[in-house]
Structure 1
């Protein structure tokens, strides 16, 4: 089983500009079966409502204390804490007391279906957009043979790491390649540099592993 490794190639305080930059990489590797997924940690009732209206697809899951439902079967826990659709979200703000941040996620949608809407409403919340099933082309002259399994692009909102540390006041674009470790060194890194360079970008920081 193989793994990916991601490298930052762009960071900027304007969300829309960061999205446009990420799309340059996506379009370089996009193919017929490419998809997009997204995740966000929504810190207020207003933020949940904004995302639910702008991007109604996906699942919303309220927070709970570590031991709050210990021993309670999954199917007997409140639906809001298991995951509900936008249409089933509690309508009253009081229902969110002790349930923030609300996690929202959506998987495997067509490229271009949610990115603009989420970028417009994510606000100061931490989140990400991840484009998967891309195809990095081969570059035999540079020793690169192409990559599909781990060809991805991620746009991090208000954070700089895949662990979603933060929040920060900027947004980071990551390019993913296959992780190949030889003698303790990441042999896949030159491919990330090459991919980034094809759209006028450059690796700006150390590897981020999953």
Structure 2
């Protein structure tokens, strides 16, 4: 088992610029098997319905308390607890009561298939675009070998964290590398800096484990 650590390498209030920058970094490590996932957190019926129309294939799932439906058969639980596609969201506003925040996700899609539609639809909601199954090459200049398991790029939309719990008025691009800590120091931070430099970027803040 191993963890990844993500370093911010770009931030801007311009989402289109943030997306193009994240794509530039992603393309540096892209492989035929690379994939993309998106997620958003929504806090109103209007926004759930709007994204359902814009992203009909998205999976929408609402909040449920732990053990709230113990003993209730799965097929009798509310559709927002089970999870429902955007095209099948309930019309009755009462179905959303007690279910916020509602998460919207599309997972493990081909690169290029959802990024534009998602960023066009996200609005002021918090969300992320995440690319994985990339490959970071060897970095002989800093004496580090390449990797694939933790070769990832994330674009945070209107938020400071991948938990989507801290709102922001800007968007942040993260580069991920394998975590290797000794004495509290990340030994592979030079690798993150090297990767950013290959596409004209630089690490602009501390790394965070995910």
**What TM-score bracket applies, with the shorter chain setting the length?**
over 0.9
Matched with 1:194 is 194
Q: Secondary structure at the match of 1:168?
A: strand
| 8 A Cα contact 1:160 1:172, kept in partner | yes
| 8 A Cα contact 2:9 2:202, kept in partner | yes
Matched with 2:138 is 138
What is the RMSD computed on CA atoms of the aligned residues?
1.7
Matched with 1:179 is 179
| 8 A Cα contact 1:55 1:114, kept in partner | no
Matched with 1:5 is 5
Matched with 2:155 is 155
| 8 A Cα contact 1:11 1:170, kept in partner | yes
* TM-superposed deviation, 1:45: 2.1
Instruction: Tell me the TM-score normalised to structure 1 length.
Output: 0.93
**Matches of 2:188 and 2:151, distance apart in 1:** 12
* TM-superposed deviation, 1:140: 1.9
Post-superposition, which runs of at least 4 consecutive aligned residues in structure 1 deviate over 4 A? Answer: none
| 8 A Cα contact 1:41 1:126, kept in partner | yes
Q: Secondary structure at the match of 2:169?
A: coil
* TM-superposed deviation, 1:71: 4.6
Q: Secondary structure at the match of 1:56?
A: coil
**Matches of 2:165 and 2:193, distance apart in 1:** 24
| 8 A Cα contact 1:9 1:172, kept in partner | yes
Deviation by residue 1:68-122 (Cα, 9 ceiling, x = unmatched): 4345354542222111112221123343233222111111100011111110111
**Matches of 2:32 and 2:102, distance apart in 1:** 33
* TM-superposed deviation, 1:58: 2.9
Matched with 1:105 is 105
Structure 2 matches for 1:60-75, cutoff 5 A? 60-66=60-66, 68-75=68-75
Instruction: Tell me the TM-score normalised to structure 2 length.
Output: 0.93
**Matches of 1:147 and 1:65, distance apart in 2:** 39
Unaligned residue ranges in structure 1 (runs of 5+): none
Farther off after superposition, 76-85 or 65-74: 65-74
**Matches of 1:11 and 1:153, distance apart in 2:** 14
* TM-superposed deviation, 1:64: 3.1
Residues 134, 92 of structure 1: CA spacing in aligned structure 2 closer, same or farther, 3 A cutoff? same
| 8 A Cα contact 2:25 2:153, kept in partner | yes
* TM-superposed deviation, 1:40: 0.7
Number of residues of Structure 1 aligned to a counterpart in Structure 2: 210
Matched with 2:38 is 38
* TM-superposed deviation, 1:181: 1.2
Deviation by residue 1:101-154 (Cα, 9 ceiling, x = unmatched): 211111110001111111011111111110000111112232121111100000
